[in-house]
Amino acid sequence: MKKRNLLAAALLITSIGVTSCASDEEKREKEQRMEETVEAEQERMEQESDEFASDMEDEVMQAEENIEAEAQEMQEDMSDKPWADQMISLDKAKEVQEALKNNGFEIGAVDGLIGPNTKEGLRSFQEQQENLTASGELNQETIDALGLDFDLVQAQQEPKSEMSE
């Protein structure tokens, strides 16, 4: 669209310039200069357009690479977080939270959200148990030590709990 506008403007200028010239030779020379100017401007605009498109392609490729790297990093980060791969239903998470609270561990609200308070409460509970590793991860041994009556593997197949940071 800009090229058409530029051409129209150039032709208008040419026609105005041509009508004010005295001889046919001067008219042809002005027309030739205007055509050359328009062609040069078209080439410059095409080159800028190609450079812009190339830059945009590079930026898109870089953004895709960044997104892929960030997704990989997030996945790696999540593998180090307790319960990240052991999400359980809200009801089961509430049972764990209630059991921790009943055993005197501060876990915040009993809301089914497995957040830092629940993880810390679980870790503290595990530390007090001789046969448990204080990892903050929910495992069947911890469920049993809390006196809960559910199987972790089956609980993982129920609708999942929300995770919070």
Report pLDDT for 89: 78
Would you call 164 exposed, middle or buried from its count of C-beta atoms within 10 A (0-12, 13-18, 19+)?
exposed
| Chain position carrying tokens 């199987």 | 151
Q: Is the pLDDT of residue 19 over 80?
A: no
Alpha carbons 38 and 41: distance in angstroms, whole number: 5
DSSP class of 85? T
Residue 127 pLDDT > 70, yes or no? yes
Per-domain boundaries in the chain:
2-79, 90-155
- 1 burial level (CB within 10 Å; 0-12, 13-18, 19+): exposed
CA 151/CA 44 separation, integer angstroms: 70
For residue 138, which of 77, 95, 74, 76 has the smallest C-alpha distance? 95
d(CA 63, CA 55): 12
CB 96 within 8 A of CB 82: no
pLDDT band at 6 (very low <50, low <70, confident <90, very high): low
pLDDT score recorded for residue 165: 39
Is the confidence at residue 148, as pLDDT, over 50?
yes
Task: Please say if the pLDDT value at position 110 is more than 70.
Answer: yes
pLDDT digits (tens, 9 = 90+) for 67-102: 887 767 765 554 444 454 556 778 888 999 999 999
Average pLDDT over residues 5-29: 67
Question: pLDDT value at position 70?
Answer: 78
Residue 66's pLDDT is 87
pTM of the model: 0.46
